[in-house]
Structure formats: C-alpha cells, structure tokens
C-alpha cells in the first residue's frame, strides 16, 4: 500500500487498483493511466478527486455511489467516460468536461439527482444517454439548469 494525502491505495503497472474507502480528497498519482472499475465505488466520504494528465479515460463504475462527491473536473486528456462511471453520486452538482470531444457512456451520470451543470458540448440526445435514458432525471436537470440561468439573469438585471 502507498500513501496519498494520508490515504492508503494500491497501484500496479500504471493502474490504480484500490483506494481506502474512507478517503476524502484524493489526487490520482501522475503516471497512472487507468483506474480499475469500482476503484472508488462506495467511497462515501470522497469529496474531491484530481485526475492526472496521464489518464485518458474514466472506467466503468469508477466513482459509483460516491455520495459526497460534489464537483468534478474532467481534464482535456480524458477522451472517454465509460458507462455508469458516476452512477449514484447523489451530491454531484457540477461537472466540467474540458475536452469537447469526450465521449460520455450510457448512464455515466445516472442517479446524480443534484446535478445542475455540465459544461461540455453534449447534445440533448447524448445528455439523455448519460442519464441512462431516465427521462425524469433528464427533465429535472434541464429545469434546474434553466432556473439557475434565469436567476443569474434576474440578479444581473436588478443591479
């Protein structure tokens, strides 16, 4: 086991294999090119993860049920977010995908009920796919996103 921000984790052959489930903040080490499916799954206290420049995809179920993860920045080097990657991240509110060509897999943001903002070039069809074809979650996201834009516009006009 190796330490990262006083957290136990296991790496082998440039692959992050497991992480202590009590982790709160984790910087994936530079040089790691992939993380195994379910690597961070059920890390209930995880609030922040930094992805290194050496990773180019986020694996299946990687962050599933990380119920305290609230914001995520996906760097330019990541060109694929695989299916169910952030499934069940209940507090996830903002996602910034810095690469306009990043492909987002089916259900990648399924059950992320507080997701308010995704900065990316996803089409509406791709966004629905990212929500696992959950039309209710998709419509709620669009409504929250619209309300935030209207609130910002309203505040701006008042000033």
Residue 156 pLDDT class (50, 70, 90 cuts): very low
Banded pLDDT at 4 (limits 50, 70, 90): very low
Domains located in the chain, CATH noted: 2-158 (3.80.10.10)
Mean pLDDT, residues 129-136 taken together: 93
> What pLDDT score was predicted for residue 69?
97
Does 7 score more than 80 pLDDT? no
DSSP calls for 17-84:
EEE-TT-SEEEPPTT--EE-TTSSTT-TT--EEE--TT--EE-TTTTTT-TT--EEEE-TT--EE-TT
Q: What is the pTM of this model?
A: 0.87
Query: What pLDDT sits at residue 151?
Result: 59
103 strand-pairing partners: 80
Arithmetic mean of pLDDT over the chain: 88
- Checking if the pLDDT of 3 tops 50, the result is no
The reported pLDDT for the residue numbered 147 is: 72
Mean pLDDT confidence for 43-47? 95
Q: What percent of the chain has pLDDT over 90?
A: 75
**Do residues 91 and 71 touch, judged by C-beta distance below 8 A?**
no
Residue 141 buriedness (CB in 10 A; 0-12 / 13-18 / 19+): buried
């Amino acid at each position: 086991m190796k330490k990262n921000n006083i957290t136990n984790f296991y790496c082998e052959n440039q692959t992050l294999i497991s992480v202590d489930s009590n982790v709160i903040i984790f910087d994936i080490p530079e040089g790691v090119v992939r993380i195994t499916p379910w690597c961070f799954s059920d890390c209930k206290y995880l609030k922040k993860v930094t992805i290194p420049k050496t990773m180019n995809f986020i694996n299946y179920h990687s962050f599933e049920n990380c119920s305290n993860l609230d914001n995520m920045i996906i760097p330019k080097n990541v060109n694929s977010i695989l299916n169910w990657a952030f499934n069940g991240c209940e507090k996830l509110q903002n996602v910034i995908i810095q690469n306009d060509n990043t492909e987002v897999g089916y259900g990648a943001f399924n059950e992320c009920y507080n997701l308010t903002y995704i900065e990316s070039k996803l089409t509406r069809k791709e966004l629905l796919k990212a929500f696992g074809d959950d039309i209710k979650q998709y419509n709620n996201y669009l409504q929250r996103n619209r309300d935030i834009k209207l609130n910002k516009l309203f505040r701006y006009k008042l000033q």
